[in-house]
Amino acid sequence: MAATTLSADATLDEIRAALAPELPVNAAFDGWSPKAVDAAARTVGVDADVARLAFPGGAVDLIDAWFAYIDARMAEALPAEALAEMKIRERIAALVEKRLELLAGEREALRRAVAVLAMPQNVARAAKLGWRSADRMWRLAGDVATDYNHYTKRGILAGVYAATITVFLDDESERWAQTRAFLARRIEGIMRFEKAKAKWLGRGRDRRISLSRFVGRLRYPAI
């Protein structure tokens, strides 16, 4: 990847975004550490001290920047028009698989990132990052739910994605066939859950309507 050219007055946000794609290359060897930042800074042409200022939270901030970069690349690769003709489960599968494709070249860096995020002090931040990616995928898939469905869909997908990454890290099959099969089963589970939930909620509405009619008849009996 060609080095990104930054202006002399680039903001820390711009510096962070420019460094993000270079970080995993170095994190695979040096871990998610200041050394990785320094190496990425040399590649991009940024002063190392300034580069470190862009990641005040340390390793988790580095991982956060990389994941945000992956989210952006995923959205570029699969815009709305590319997903429009797919069924919802196909859209979700395509988005997750695209993320895996983008991560595939940096599996050692990803392995180290997962280890960092699994540390007790980082669990809450890890959950936020998982939620952010799941939210991005659902939005790209066309989900516009604003009620509790908004939260259940994202929570479930975040869990599925995390489990899929665990399989992916050790998958040596051709084109990650084992991971794709695992993902397909989990997405099928999400779809079954959504159908069952919709059916249950529909029954709940029918019961409320029936109960209202029953009470009405008690108050105003037919003559």
Portions of the chain given CATH number 1.10.357.10: 59-216
Fold of 59-216: Tetracycline Repressor; domain 2 (1.10.357)
Determine the average pLDDT of the residues in 39-53. 95
Q: Contact, 62 vs 27, CB < 8 A?
A: yes
Q: Contact, 103 vs 72, CB < 8 A?
A: no
**Distance separating alpha carbons of residues 162 and 134, to the nearest angstrom:** 10
Q: Contact, 158 vs 131, CB < 8 A?
A: yes
Q: What pLDDT, on a 0 to 100 scale, did the predictor assign at position 148? A: 81
- Positive or negative, the CA dihedral 23, 109, 69, 146 is negative
Q: pLDDT tens across 51-98, in order?
A: 999 999 999 999 999 999 999 999 999 998 999 999 998 999 999 999
**Distance separating alpha carbons of residues 28 and 136, to the nearest angstrom:** 26
Sequence-distant (6+) residues with CB within 8 A of 131 are 154, 155, 158
Q: pLDDT tens across 156-211, in order?
A: 999 999 999 999 999 999 999 999 999 999 988 877 776 776 677 666 555 554 54
